[in-house]
């Protein structure tokens, strides 16, 4: 009990001393407290900042879109340039030929200006295609192949119909050529027969006068040369085939002979006693 009272009195005395010391002025001056300024924007400033950030975002998005369009356009230009370079034949001069093609196309437009609508629409592209095939045949072939490739890729049904139409057109053209050739030969034979009859009736040498015999002789000579050339080619091919066959036969015979010789040598090595016995046998008198 006494100890508890003593402790309490000691604590009270210490508290009194601390209270007396806190009432006294400090020896050193107290430090100046830091002043923190808090930037609190106004409502107008916040709205201006939001508007500026929105405008900046929209500008960056528009700039990115424009750059994307420019990049795609540059890619299209490069693809077109590459395709044009692949279509133009490197061993074919373009400078005079393309000018002639343009002149022919413009000439078609000039000729068809007073014609009907169908003629005005058909004549310029027709002259364009014909002049392009005449002055730039390799380039025209490349363009035609590229158009056929596009047609096969994107319009396969139309490509099939186009191919069928081309085959029918080629067959019709061949028939017309054969018919024209036959008609020409018939007319030539008819004229020749008529001249022969006229020569018999009048006694005049009409064929020699008209140069007919010379033309016939030249034609016969050309046909003879062509036939001789064809015969020579076939003869050379036959000779080459015979040479190859003979060489193959000789090689086969050599292989068989070598195999037989090898087999005989092996048999002789395996049976030496039989060979010696046959050698020792006396020859029978005949």
Domain that holds residue 62: 46-87
**Is 237 inside any structural domain?**
yes
Q: Which positions ≥6 away from 216 have C-beta within 8 Å?
A: 192
Last residue of a domain, one of 72, 87, 102: 87
**Is 215 inside any structural domain?**
yes
**Is 64 inside any structural domain?**
yes
pLDDT at 286: 43
**Is 155 inside any structural domain?**
no
Residue 257 pLDDT > 60: yes
Q: How confident is the model at residue 1 (pLDDT cuts 50, 70, 90)?
A: very low
Task: Tell me the per-residue pLDDT of 56-114, one tens digit each, with 9 for 90 and over.
Answer: 999 999 999 999 999 999 999 999 999 988 888 888 888 888 999 999 999 988 988 88
**Is 138 inside any structural domain?**
no
Task: Round the CA-based radius of gyration of the chain to a whole number and report it.
Answer: 55
**Is 158 inside any structural domain?**
no
Task: Tell me the per-residue pLDDT of 155-164, one tens digit each, with 9 for 90 and over.
Answer: 888 888 888 8
DSSP states of 227-247 = HHHHHHHHHHHHHHHHHHHHH
Residue 275 pLDDT > 60: no
Number of domains comprising the chain: 2
**Is 202 inside any structural domain?**
no
**Is 129 inside any structural domain?**
no
- The lowest-confidence range among 32-41, 116-125, 145-154 is 32-41
Helix (H), strand (E), coil (C) string for 216-231: HHHHHHHHHHHHHHHH
């Amino acid at each position: 009990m006494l100890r508890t009272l003593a402790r309490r009195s000691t604590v009270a005395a210490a508290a009194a001393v601390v209270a007396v010391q806190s009432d006294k002025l400090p020896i050193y001056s107290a430090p100046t407290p830091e002043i923190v300024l808090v930037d609190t924007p106004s409502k107008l400033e916040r709205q201006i900042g939001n508007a500026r950030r929105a405008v900046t975002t929209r500008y960056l998005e528009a700039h990115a879109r424009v750059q994307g369009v420019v990049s795609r356009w540059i890619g299209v230009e490069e693809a077109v340039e590459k395709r044009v370079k692949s279509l133009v034949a490197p061993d074919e001069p373009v400078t005079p030929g393309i000018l002639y093609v343009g002149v022919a196309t413009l000439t078609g437009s000039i000729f068809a200006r007073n014609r009907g609508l169908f003629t005005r629409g058909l004549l310029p592209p027709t002259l364009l295609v014909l002049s392009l095939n005449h002055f730039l045949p390799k380039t025209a072939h490349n363009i035609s192949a590229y158009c056929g490739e596009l047609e096969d890729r994107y319009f396969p049904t139309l490509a099939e119909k186009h191919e069928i139409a081309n085959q029918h057109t080629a067959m019709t053209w061949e028939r017309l050529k054969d018919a024209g050739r036959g008609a020409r030969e018939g007319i030539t034979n008819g004229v020749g027969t008529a001249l022969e009859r006229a020569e018999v009736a009048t006694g005049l040498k009409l064929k020699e006068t008209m140069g007919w015999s010379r033309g016939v002789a030249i034609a016969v000579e050309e046909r003879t040369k062509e036939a001789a050339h064809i015969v020579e080619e076939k003869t050379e091919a036959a000779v080459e085939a015979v040479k190859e066959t003979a060489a193959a036969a000789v090689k086969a015979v050599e292989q068989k002979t070598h195999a037989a010789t090898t087999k005989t040598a092996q048999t002789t090595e395996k049976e030496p006693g039989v060979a010696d016995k046959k050698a020792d046998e006396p020859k029978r008198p005949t």
